[in-house]
């Protein structure tokens, strides 16, 4: 547990003083009782059970006071809490390498079916969008709660040439932040040129920078074999998503051994580039998943659904402790009235 205002914890030093004052008052009360009442009356009035009970309300009130002091210091704790991602953007690779059949029946078909299952498992309140990318990227379906429209958009996907993973990330990011313009003109996927947001910031960083992974209202799920051939550097695109606080969960589809594809007199081996996808997920504080068959893909999407629903994060618990202190104070007052017809 950490505290935003730890200097206020010195107030806890008052607790021993309050305990000392409490016992001093008890001794004074006992002396007065001995002066004006017989020992027999005191013995009958203060039996062992009653003597113990009279300390319970003050003890509960003391615990309430300690809890309140801790709350004033604004504590934060790491908790696993529900986190509703209001917007989820699926970015799916539709490059020619996705027709490889190392995942049955082929990569693109397995990805489509797994995506449909994932969509069906999302709560009705979640908006889901679809971005496809090959040599370029485009929004196939803007975020919507209409599941039939999303499924229909998935069924319309057609394979194209080229693979611009960076463009897919940036267009998905643009879908989440429609008011921000991103420069998609970079053409060297391995270069150092960084795609810049054209949002009036006057530089290569967003006008409002967030901590990586801090946004809980949106997420990007990138499904690809990871082999970038054109477009912006995908790692730099991932850094832009991280600066906006958006996580990019990556799902690698295919096998590391790959498959040889041929067309019109040429052939090439297409294989899964796991390192690139792991780096993208790491930069955005998300996770990478691997699948080499359609069954594993469905399991991965189930796992993503769970991870998007529950999130472990640092959370301020001031309100929780303040409510606990108030409840304990009421319990203390109730017991005092119930047993002694007075409050403390």
Q: Which of 42-51, 74-83, 241-250 has the lowest mean pLDDT?
A: 42-51
Give the model's pLDDT for residue 194.
46
Contacts of 46 (CB under 8 A, 6+ apart): none
Q: Are residues 68 and 100 in the same domain?
A: no
Mean pLDDT of 221-243: 91
Give the model's pLDDT for residue 314.
77
Nearest to 169 by CA among 184, 188, 154: 184
Query: Contact at 8 Å (CB) between 60 and 335?
Result: yes
Give the model's pLDDT for residue 255.
81
pLDDT tier at 192, thresholds 50, 70, 90:
very low
Give the model's pLDDT for residue 267.
65
3-state per-residue secondary structure call for the chain:
CEECCHHHHHHHHHHHHHHHHHHHHHHHHHHHHHHHCCHHHHHHHCCHHHHHHCCHHHHHHHHHHHHHHHHHCCEEEEEEEECCCCEEEEEEECEHHHHCCCCCCCHHHHHHHHHHHHHHHCCCCCEEEEEEECCCEEEEEEEECCHHHHHHHHHCCCCECCCCHHHHHHHHHHHHCCCCCECCCCCCCCCCCCCCECCCCCCCCCCCCCCCCCCCCEEEEEEECCCCCCCCCHHHHHHHHHHCCCEEEEEEECCCCCEEEEECCEEEEECCCHHHHHHHHHHCCCCEEEECCHHHHHHHHHHHHHHHHEEEEEEECHHHHHHHHHHHHHHHHHHHHHHHCCCC
Give the model's pLDDT for residue 185.
54
Query: Contact at 8 Å (CB) between 131 and 138?
Result: yes
Mean pLDDT of 141-170: 94
Indicate the residue among 253, 276, 292 that finishes a domain.
Answer: 292
Give the model's pLDDT for residue 50.
61
pLDDT of residue 110 exceeding 90: no
178 by Cβ neighbours in 10 Å (0-12 / 13-18 / 19+) ranks as exposed
Does residue 197 lie within any of the structural domains? Answer: yes
pLDDT of residue 37 exceeding 90: no
Q: Are residues 166 and 48 in the same domain?
A: no
Q: Which of 10-24, 184-198, 245-259, 293-307 has the lowest mean pLDDT?
A: 184-198
CB atoms within 10 A of CB 298: 17
| CATH number assigned to the domain comprising residue 268 | 3.40.50.410
Query: Contact at 8 Å (CB) between 200 and 168?
Result: no
Give the model's pLDDT for residue 301.
79
More confident residue, 191 or 162: 162
Does residue 198 lie within any of the structural domains? Answer: yes
Q: Are residues 157 and 280 in the same domain?
A: yes
Q: Are residues 204 and 231 in the same domain?
A: yes
Q: Are residues 118 and 8 in the same domain?
A: no
Q: Which of 29-33, 100-104, 286-290 has the lowest mean pLDDT?
A: 29-33
CA 248 remoteness from chain centre: 12
CA 213 remoteness from chain centre: 7
Mean pLDDT of 256-278: 75
Q: Are residues 113 and 74 in the same domain?
A: no
Q: Are residues 42 and 116 in the same domain?
A: no
User: How many domains in the chain?
Assistant: 2
**Peptide bond between residue 326 and the one before it cis (omega within 30 degrees of 0):** no
Please give the angle made by the CA atoms of 288, 103 and 175, to the nearest 5 degrees: 50
Q: Are residues 199 and 53 in the same domain?
A: no
Computed on alpha carbons and rounded to an integer, the radius of gyration of the chain in Å comes to 31
pLDDT of residue 142 exceeding 90: yes
More confident residue, 105 or 340: 105
Q: Which of 10-19, 90-99, 162-171, 204-213 has the lowest mean pLDDT?
A: 204-213
More confident residue, 84 or 15: 15
Percent of the chain with pLDDT over 70: 82
Give the model's pLDDT for residue 199.
43
Give the model's pLDDT for residue 198.
40
**pTM exceeding the 0.85 threshold for the entire prediction:** no
Mean pLDDT of 63-72: 92
Query: Contact at 8 Å (CB) between 89 and 286?
Result: no
Q: At what angle do helices 147-155 and 107-121 cross, to 10 degrees?
A: 180
Q: Are residues 74 and 89 in the same domain?
A: no
Mean pLDDT rounded to a whole number for the chain:
81
Range of the domain at 55: 2-78+316-340
Q: Are residues 162 and 241 in the same domain?
A: yes
Give the whole-angstrom CA distance, residue 254 versus residue 274: 10
């Amino acid at each position: 547990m950490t505290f935003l205002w730890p200097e206020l914890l010195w107030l806890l030093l008052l607790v021993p003083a309050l305990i000392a004052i409490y016992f001093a008052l008890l001794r004074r009360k006992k002396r007065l009782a001995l002066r004006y009442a017989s020992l027999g009356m005191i013995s009958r009035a203060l039996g062992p059970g009653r003597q113990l009970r009279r300390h319970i309300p003050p003890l509960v009130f003391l615990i309430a006071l300690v809890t309140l002091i801790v709350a004033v210091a604004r504590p934060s704790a790491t908790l696993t809490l529900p986190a509703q991602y209001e917007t989820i953007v699926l970015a799916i690779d539709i490059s020619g390498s996705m027709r490889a059949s190392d995942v049955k029946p082929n990569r693109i078909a397995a990805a489509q079916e797994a995506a449909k299952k994932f969509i069906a498992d999302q709560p009705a309140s979640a908006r889901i969008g679809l971005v496809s990318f090959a040599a370029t990227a485009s929004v196939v379906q803007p975020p919507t709660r209409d599941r039939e429209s999303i499924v229909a958009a998935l069924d319309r996907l057609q394979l194209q040439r080229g693979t611009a993973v960076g463009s897919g990330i940036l267009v998905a990011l643009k879908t989440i932040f429609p008011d921000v313009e991103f420069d998609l003109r970079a053409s060297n996927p391995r270069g150092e040129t960084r795609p810049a947001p054209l949002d009036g910031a006057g530089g290569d960083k967003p006008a409002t920078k967030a901590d990586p992974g801090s946004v809980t209202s949106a997420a990007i799920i990138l499904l690809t074999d990871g082999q970038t051939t054109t477009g912006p550097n995908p790692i730099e695109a991932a850094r832009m998503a991280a600066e906006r606080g958006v996580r990019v969960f990556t799902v690698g589809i295919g096998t590391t051994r790959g498959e040889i594809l041929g067309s019109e007199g040429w052939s090439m081996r297409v294989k899964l580039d796991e390192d690139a996808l792991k780096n993208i997920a790491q930069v955005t504080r998300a996770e990478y998943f691997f699948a080499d068959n359609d069954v594993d893909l469905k399991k991965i999407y189930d796992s993503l659904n769970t991870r998007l629903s529950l999130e472990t994060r640092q959370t301020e618990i001031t309100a929780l402790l303040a409510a606990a202190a108030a409840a304990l104070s009421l319990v203390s007052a109730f017991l005092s009235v119930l047993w002694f017809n007075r409050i403390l």
